[in-house]
Chains A and B, each alone.
Chain A
Amino acid sequence: MRKLLAKGAEAHLYLEDWQGMRVLVKRRVPKPYRIPELDGEVRRFRTVHEAEMLHRAKLAGVPTPVVYFVDLKDYTIYMEYVEGERLREAVERMDASERRRVFELVGTLVGRLHAHGMIHGDVTTSNMIIRPDGTVFFVDFGLGEVSSDVERMGVDVHLFEEMLVSTHYRHAEELRDAFLRGYRSAVGLETFKRVMEKVEEIRRRGRYVSERRVGKVRDVQRG
């Protein structure tokens, strides 16, 4: 039995009982404007790629849902349903010390991805689930890529900072400090300095304005 959780531009999310487990099903839907050969190709690539990124993140020590099954005939990933709350909403109820702890943790997790040659591509609190035990899961790797490019790392950090200002503006500065503390500890001082120089450069050239970032938040948010 499938229950629709959320419908996005690219994929639909369902909750399903599968093999005796409650799983999250992410299905990439066909796009009729594309010819079938190309459409299949794109959906296939992204499905495989996301499954791979979800797995690869674990190797860096970043909690992600377990991928149970990838059905390439149906362009679908069956993954663990992470019980918890979106960090985006959870932040609002935390006290100051909890906020600092969680955002330092988020910084550490993003730093671990970067240190292991991965770019998240869409680091927002909408794509993170906090479990009751305080663990933070990254649940969407639809825009992730394998890269050790400092510019890309800088974009990840910059977009996160912009998101703090637009979405968590009441605590933006405090959350940013905590995030960077965690991030620095994970990537090391030298990489940290290089990334922050990039962040400054990106900010100066105004290449990524906040509206563009919001535009990147796609389909895969849990409602």
Chain B
Amino acid sequence: MGKPVICLGIESTADDLGVGVASSEGRILANVIMAYTPEKGGIHPREAARHHSRVAGEAVRKALEQASVDPEDIDVVAFSQGPGMGPCLRTGATVARAMAVYLGVPLVGVNHCVAHIEIGKLTTGVEDPLTLYVSGGNTIVSALEGGRYRVFGETLDIAVGNCLDVFAREAGLGYPGGPAVEEAALKGSRYIRLPYTVKGMDMSFSGLLTHALRLLRSGRYRVEDLCYSLQETAFSMLAEITERALAHTRKSEVLLTGGVAANRRLQEMIRFVAEEHNATFHVVPKEYAVDNGAMIAWTGLLMFRAGVETPVEESFVRPRWRLDEVEVVWA
């Protein structure tokens, strides 16, 4: 056996800058995440990008230190090429290109959503799961079929994590919003009717958010009850779509990932759906479920070993790159 291949991966699709290092033995050697917290309001893409460029050097240094590798040990540099916020993506891509050129190693552009699934497979040991990927930017039910991660269901508008974040912010529950809503929901008990929008295999969360905010501003309801109702409604929609996709694909493993995967109530519901269909249930550990560089490094490594490289002149970012556009040649 030769020396393991080492890949450094850079993640910068939204508010976090992540740098990870993975080795071809299937080991994650480093996973550094530098979070950008907006002073007020949501993520401002340009502000976030500015943060990323400010901390990128330090993040790379930390990651190399954590992994105990020298720059010369890196065989390939990967970066999240999309989907995500343009300015943020461009910052990560610039760092990655510079490193690849300086080190004289190949560059690999990775699809962020694909990376979430691949790191989930690595860290939980599942082989061919139906994945529910829920975060601030994405809400997707997907499984591998015919060489691609097919999208069986997705949001038609905003992501479920975005819905929870905005509600928490407006309710003054603080940041990050998901955990705050989860905690408040534990003290809620009365279900308040909210729009439940499932269209075929797709979901909509914007109407749900608007309505919940309207009820919040009316001042006639307890915030705890609203959080409880918001979670129950949004997560039931996710569970329904997951169940349909599971019945259709007949996969025997269900993988829950993304920032919202940490929510206990969601875990409980999806676990129930999985067990009903005789599938095993797996949640990606938090540090690998949120946006992170390790997933980019690991996926970049898989792609590189399958012969995929992204020439610098073709490494433009793809803010709207869909999960199902990627040919999974390494599977």
Contact = CB atoms under 8 A, between A and B. Distances in A.
Contacts of B245: 215
Contacts, number: 67
Given A33-B236, A211-B152, 9 more contacts: A9-B244, A9-B247, A33-B273, A42-B196, A211-B145, A214-B248, A215-B201, A215-B245, A216-B200
A34 B200 contact: no
Interface of A: 8-10, 31-35, 37-39, 41-42, 45, 121-122, 143, 145, 206, 209, 211-212, 214-218
B27 interface: no
B236 A215 contact: no
A211 B148 CA distance: 11
B191 A35 contact: yes
Interface of B: 145-146, 150-153, 191, 193, 196, 199-201, 232-233, 236, 239-240, 243-245, 247-249, 268-269, 272-273, 322, 324-325
Contacts of B191: 35, 37-38
Contacts of B200: 121-122, 143, 216
A145 B145 CA distance: 30
A216 B239 contact: no
Nearest to B238: A33
Contacts of B236: 31, 33-35, 38-39, 42
A37 B191 CA distance: 7
Contacts of B248: 214-215, 217
A152 B52 CA distance: 41
16 contacts: A31-B240, A33-B269, A34-B236, A35-B232, A35-B236, A37-B191, A38-B196, A42-B196, A206-B322, A206-B325, A209-B151, A209-B324, A211-B146, A216-B200, A216-B201, A217-B248
Contact of B150 (A34, A38, A41, A212): A212
B325 to A, nearest CB: 8
